[in-house]
Each structure stands twice: as structure tokens, then as C-alpha cells.
Structure 1
Amino acid sequence: MFEEIRFFHRGLAGGIAGPSPSLPRLSLTELVLIPQSLFTHLCVWVQRANMDSPGLFVLLCLVIFGQAAASSAEEITWSYTGLIGQSEWSEYFPDCGGTSQSPVDVITTQTRFDPSLTPVRPLGYSQHGNQPFTLYNNGHTAIIVMPEWMGLEGLPWFFTAVQLHLHWGNGGPNQRGSEHTMNGISADAELHVVHYNSELYPNMSAAMTQKDGLAVLGILIVTGEETNPAFNKILNYLSRIKHFGQKVFIPAFDIQSLLPEDLGRYYRYNGSLTTPPCYQSVMWTVFHERVQISKAQLLKLETILYSSKAEDPEKMLLQDNYRSTQALNQRVIYTSFSAESGKELSSGEVTAIVIGVMCGCVGLAVIVRFIVKTIRINDPEKEKQKKQDLVLNSTSEAERRDEPSPSCKTEP
């Protein structure tokens, strides 16, 4: 299909006039997949072409279909590594090629402290009510729909909660799973909690295209030995939404239990949705503190879900659903804490510090021992005199004990 489209594209780019070339037969589905740049050439050709050209009517139809395709961009089946993968997103979703895209690599030494950034205050996260949550597989991730009474305070506006979802890797040796990275280092997974600006806009659809429309919390997830009970409230139900399009109702639970304890230390920048259509409308808050889950919990996330439907003959595991980090393009990442208290240390730096401290202790012990030994060698006479004084003092004390006591006389 794409070979035919490229042939047609070359013909249009050459400014063909007169009789129409043999046009490829394209279905509506294929037309939806034609990049918008092709329709730019179509418009040029229509302007240059002879109005009596036999192909003019066909061209006009293609232009109409092209406009319909642009308006239906959100219906395009994008992926992370497939036919319309990350490198092709911007061809079908123009915002994905913008200058304020997410995620980003947070280089902590290049962040800027902003004392006006106050702790994030989740509202209603712990008041989940009695109604169950909806958990579903949209082919790209697992999503929980959040009740509308949940939201965020501590931002320029009040933001109403919409949903939360996860990003993860594949468990390979070069494990990566988070979208945001810190000093080039990825976490094992990442949780996003999405909100829209309900002070300025009536709903998520209206807000998501506006530069001040959305606020997303980013929580980096690492693995350890202990199980995280809060995440089990999601992970234990993944087997019931294995395939794209499946959903299940799960017991409501405390959403705040998924967040780090310290909500006052975070990184803030303006960015975008990390999936198409990549609207540049997100105020990002990426927490400094990581959340820990067990390796067994991460394995569930990496191996249970499929991006394919249950009836599809070819089953495709839902893995590596993270976007590569994007260029900052002069944007500034702000921190809510000072650089001294928030400085990140690499494993190499930590190792160097530990070795340095150990060497310092050993060196100090050697120096002390050397000084003591030197004092003893350089002052033997004082040691000898000290021993003689001790002997004389002992002899004098013994002689005093051997002398008879004087007799006591009493008055008559």
C-alpha cells in the first residue's frame, strides 16, 4: 500500500498537467493512513491542473477524503513500535512533533528552584465511596476511571481527576519502563494520574487542547523485596482485562496509597500528553520520591496484558508502552526543593563516597598509630623515669605501713 502511495506522491510533486496518471485504488481505510503532506501536493496539483482534466474529479474526492482523515486522526491505530510507531506519530498527529513534548530527562543539576511551589494536595483521593472503580485495557495500557469528586489543590487552578494509568517495559536485561528519566536513568515503571482544569473548562475533551488544560502527576516506580499492597488492588485484576477492549469493576480503594509519602518535593515543567495526539497542554508534576513494588508485582504488569483483542489470531503482549524522552527545547524544569537537599547521586558517586570514607578511616588509624609509636620511641627516658617513680612510691608506702604508731597519753 505505501509503495503505491509513494508513487502517486512523486507524480503529484512533479506538477503533472494534462491527462491524469493511472491512480492507485485506495480504500477509505488506506486513505486515512495517508500523511497530510500528500494532500498538500494534491491541492497544488488541483490549482495547476487543467479544469478539463479527467482526473480532476478524482483529485477533489481525494482532497475531501484527506480532510476527513485529518479530522479523524484520533481514530488512527497508533502503536509504540508497529506500523505507526513513535517515529511516525508526528506525520498523523502534528502536535507530536511540537517543541514542548513529554516525557523528558530531568537533569537535576540543571533544574531551577522555585520557592513558590507548594506541596501538591490531593482532594478526595482517600474518599473513594462505595461505588466500584472501572478498570479497562485500551490496547495501550491499563486504566482506572477516577470519580469526579477527586481532584488536585495547590496548583494555579483546581483540577478534577479523570483517570490513572501505567507505563512499563518488558523485563529484559536492559530494563526500562518509565517515561520520565532522572539524569538519564530510567525507573522500572511509571504511574500517571490525569486531571483537567475544571475552573476554566467544562470537561476533559475541551481542556485537553488548551495550554492550561491538564495537570498530570508522574510517579516513578522501582522494584524491591517488599510487596506494595496498594498496587495489588490493581494488579490482582489484570488477568480479567487481558485483552484490548476488556473491562472489569474492581472494589474502590484509597488512590492516595499509590502516591509517594512526600508530596512536597517534585519537579514541575510544561509539556504534553505522552501518547497521540500529544497535545501540549500538560502541567507536569514528577515526584522526587520513588514508589516501590516487588519484582513479582512488576512481572505481572509486564506479562499479563495484551494489546490485541481476544478474537485476534495473533496475540501481542502489551509491553514497552513508554515514549522516548523528548528534547527540552529551552524549557526550564523547576523544583520545589533546593538543589542541596535534592541533589541526586549516581551509584558511582555513592560508591566513591563510601570508598573515600573507608580509606579516610584507615588512613586516620594509621596516622594515630604512627604518632603514638613515635612518641614512645623518642621519649624512652620519660617512660623509664615514670616506672622508677612508680617503684619508689610503692616502696615508700610500704615503709610507712611498717612504722609503729605513737602511743596515746590520756589526762588524769
Structure 2
Amino acid sequence: MDSLGIFILLTLKFFQWTAAASVEETSWTYTGLLGQAEWSDHFPDCGGTSQSPVDVITTQTKYDPSLIPVVPRGYSQHGNQPFTLSNDGHTVVIELPEWMGLGGLPWLFSAVQLHLHWGNGGPSDGGSEHTINGQSADAELHVVHYNSELYPNISAAMTQKDGLAVLGILIVTGEETNPAFNNILNYLSRIRHADQKVLIPAFDVQSLLPKNLGRYYRYNGSLTTPPCYQSVLWTVFHERVQISKAQLMKMETILYSSNAEESEKMLLQDNYRVTQPLNHRVVFASFSAESGKELSSGEVTAIVIGVMCGCVGLAVIIRFIVKTIRFFKLLHLETVVVNSSTSSWDILHNNRPAPMPRINEPEKTNEKKQDLALNSTSEAERKEESSPSPQTEP
């Protein structure tokens, strides 16, 4: 092969290496020509069998009583050193000092960075990477750590099976503003374009986490962005964190994935990866499946309707019983009144005199006549006895 042929071959190889390096560094996207469906073509690990995120089916999780609460170390001891907030074209990132870390894991893990994933502000459901029983949240926060007990830095750890530990916090919206997230959101306008950075005041990183750090799901997975190394011990908290709708809208609409120099501005939206197959992996839970069971909106509606019907039925039964008691009381009172109007002796029976025996009228008349006759005879006899006897003349 002549020198010209060698030169052409080397030139082609150079362009191939340059293109590959460009893809690995900046060119991948969530949609488009180098979107999620094409990641595995350029990053082989993205087609692996232990990829993240996943859909956590709570009834299929396995309770592991040995899983203890996660213990943030140094999260609230931020000191006076500012944090660096940046837009890397894929998400918003805060670099964290290595003296922040996590306890409650098999090894000591030191903090590296935190970042966010969100949707597009439209009616479509999505924003979080992990889902629970098929339901996604509005956004998701990740706090990334590396195994500083076994490896010297993040670069060495991220390719190892036990190299990384990531906290996943699902974010939902409500009416109240979350002041902790304003420590990030209030500065997004200063990093609207890709590759922009700004120093922000340090704050308590633990204030971004749920209150309950003892209820979570644990599984082995991967980075959710290229190169998708399968080196992550995931902890996805059961409790959601709430922010306001205005805060979510700021997150979804203020940043661009394009550089400031680019004429075509592209909003940084829908920066979440779709859920990946579990492929026989087991998702462990730090709490029992029944106590952590999530109910669908249909199940909640059915329970509410059932409770309401039960309350109505109970009220009807109680009303019937009360009416029945009143009816029998009134019936008893009416009976008493009727009896008392018929005869007062039925009430005061103890004071009623004994009845006198009755005698026929003819018998009474004969007895009276006999009494008169006897009385007359007796009277005559008494007169005769009292009168003097007659004397005889000589």
C-alpha cells in the first residue's frame, strides 16, 4: 500500500475516533437521531441487563429487615464554601464536596453531585425516571456518591459493580412552595444555556430529602445516562417530596440544552429515561409490602365510595332502630292510658274494698216480717209480766 493509501486510511480512522469521542461527550440526547433508542449502539452498557430506571411494583418487592435507614453525613454542614451550579446540556448539576457522604450502606460512600430530571409542562404524564406501580412523579432528584472506601475517585469507581450509590427522590407538585428547592431554582436564570456555571450559596442538602429516610426501595442498577455503567446501588425513597406548581414550571421552562452561541434555541425538557426491564432482578423494600402498598386512584375511589355507602347504611339502620323504639314506647303509653280510663281500680287495686254478698229481696222482706212479729210478741209478754195480778173480793 502506497503512502497515499496509508494517509487516507489514517484520516478515516481519525474521523471515526473523533466522532466516537464527540458522541461520548456531548452528542447523545433523549430524543432525535442519537436518542434513547440509539444509546446502546454507541454505549454498549446501555443495552445491558441491569439498567435503570425501573418500575417498582410494590407487590413484587421483597421485604428485607436488614435494610436500615440511610444516614446522610455532613449534608447539613455546608460551611462557607459556595456550591457550583451548572447546565451541562442534559440537566442542572450541583457539585458536592467529598466530605459529604452516606452511612447505612455496605461501604462508606462520598458525595459527588446532585441533579434533576423533569418533563415538559404539558398534559402528558412523565417527568420522573423511576415509577411506582406504573405511576410517574412530576420530577426526580438524584444525589450521586462513589465508594470511597474501595476506590480513590469517581472515575475509578464508576466502572465497578460496587462503585456508586445514588439516592432517588420522587418529586410531586402541590400548592405550597418548598423553600429548600429555591436554593437551586432561584439561580437557574443565570445558567439558562448549556455549559454555563455560577457559584451559589451553600445550603443544607438534607433539606431536599424526604423526612422519612427509613422507607425505601433498593436494587442494583445503572447510570440513567450514557455510558450507562451498571455500577449503581439504588435507593429510591417511598416518601415523595413536594414542590409548588410554579417551582416545577420554572424547572421545565427556563433552561436550554443549546449553547448561548447557537441561533436555534432548544428547551431542556423531558430529560428522563424510560423505565428498563428488571430482567429477574429483585427490588428489596426496607418495609413490609402491605404497609408500603400504593393504591391506584381507582382503588382509592372505590374505598371512599364504600366508606360513604357504609356510613349511609349505618345511619339508616340507626334511624330504623330509633323509630322502632319510639313506636313501642308510644304503644306502651297508649295502652296504659286506655286501661286507666276504663277503671281506676285496675291501677289502685290494693285500695279496692272487698265485695259484699248479695241477698234476694223476697228473703229480706220475710226476714223483716219475722223480726217484727217476734218483736211484737216479746213486747206483749213484757207488758203482761209487769202488770199486777187481779185480787178476789170476799
The answer to whether residue 248 in structure 2 is matched with residue 298 in structure 1 is yes
Secondary structure class of the residue paired with 1:342: coil
The answer to whether residue 64 in structure 2 is matched with residue 124 in structure 1 is no
Name the structure 1 match of 2:187: 237
Q: Deviations over 1:57-97 (max 9, x none)?
A: 85676567656766775225100012200000000000000
RMSD: 2.5
Distance 1:197 1:301, change over 3 A: same
Once residues 250 and 340 of structure 2 are traced to their aligned partners in structure 1, the CA distance between those partners, rounded to angstroms, is 77
Alignment of 1:1-400 (within 5 A): 62=12, 66=16, 74-75=24-25, 77-374=27-324, 381-385=331-335
Once residues 123 and 350 of structure 1 are traced to their aligned partners in structure 2, the CA distance between those partners, rounded to angstroms, is 38
Secondary structure class of the residue paired with 2:27: coil
Secondary structure class of the residue paired with 1:192: strand
Q: Deviations over 1:90-115 (max 9, x none)?
A: 00000000000000111111111000
Letter in 1 for 2:304: V
Q: How far 1:369 sits from its partner (Å)?
A: 2.5
Distance 1:61 1:247, change over 3 A: closer
Secondary structure class of the residue paired with 2:290: helix
Letter in 1 for 2:49: T
Q: How far 1:317 sits from its partner (Å)?
A: 0.5
Secondary structure class of the residue paired with 2:195: coil
Contact kept in structure 2, 1:121 and 1:153, CA below 8 Å: yes
Once residues 390 and 86 of structure 1 are traced to their aligned partners in structure 2, the CA distance between those partners, rounded to angstroms, is 95
Q: How far 1:240 sits from its partner (Å)?
A: 0.2
Q: How far 1:193 sits from its partner (Å)?
A: 0.1
Name the structure 2 match of 1:405: none
Once residues 77 and 66 of structure 1 are traced to their aligned partners in structure 2, the CA distance between those partners, rounded to angstroms, is 14
Once residues 305 and 159 of structure 2 are traced to their aligned partners in structure 1, the CA distance between those partners, rounded to angstroms, is 52
Letter in 1 for 2:240: R
Secondary structure class of the residue paired with 1:122: strand
Once residues 155 and 230 of structure 1 are traced to their aligned partners in structure 2, the CA distance between those partners, rounded to angstroms, is 25
Letter in 2 for 1:253: F
Q: How far 1:350 sits from its partner (Å)?
A: 1.1
Q: How far 1:293 sits from its partner (Å)?
A: 0.4
Identity rate of aligned residues, in percent? 78
Distance 1:390 1:274, change over 3 A: farther
Q: How far 1:176 sits from its partner (Å)?
A: 1.2
Contact kept in structure 2, 1:73 and 1:93, CA below 8 Å: no
Q: How far 1:175 sits from its partner (Å)?
A: 3.3
Gaps of 5+ in 2: 349-394
Q: How far 1:147 sits from its partner (Å)?
A: 1.0
Once residues 126 and 390 of structure 1 are traced to their aligned partners in structure 2, the CA distance between those partners, rounded to angstroms, is 86
Once residues 123 and 337 of structure 2 are traced to their aligned partners in structure 1, the CA distance between those partners, rounded to angstroms, is 69
Secondary structure class of the residue paired with 1:274: coil
Letter in 2 for 1:240: R
Once residues 233 and 76 of structure 1 are traced to their aligned partners in structure 2, the CA distance between those partners, rounded to angstroms, is 27
Once residues 125 and 286 of structure 1 are traced to their aligned partners in structure 2, the CA distance between those partners, rounded to angstroms, is 18
Letter in 2 for 1:132: P
Letter in 1 for 2:256: Y
Letter in 2 for 1:382: H
Letter in 1 for 2:188: L
Scaled by the length of structure 2, the TM-score of the pair is 0.81
Q: How far 1:291 sits from its partner (Å)?
A: 0.3
Scaled by the length of structure 1, the TM-score of the pair is 0.78
Letter in 2 for 1:311: E
Higher relative contact order (CA 8 A, sep 6+): 2
Gaps of 5+ in 1: 1-50, 397-412
Contact kept in structure 2, 1:159 and 1:196, CA below 8 Å: yes
Deviation larger for 135-144 or 76-85: 76-85
Q: Which has the larger radius of gyration?
A: 2
Name the structure 2 match of 1:12: none
Name the structure 1 match of 2:390: none
Once residues 379 and 131 of structure 1 are traced to their aligned partners in structure 2, the CA distance between those partners, rounded to angstroms, is 82
Secondary structure class of the residue paired with 1:190: strand
Once residues 271 and 390 of structure 1 are traced to their aligned partners in structure 2, the CA distance between those partners, rounded to angstroms, is 90
Distance 1:243 1:61, change over 3 A: closer
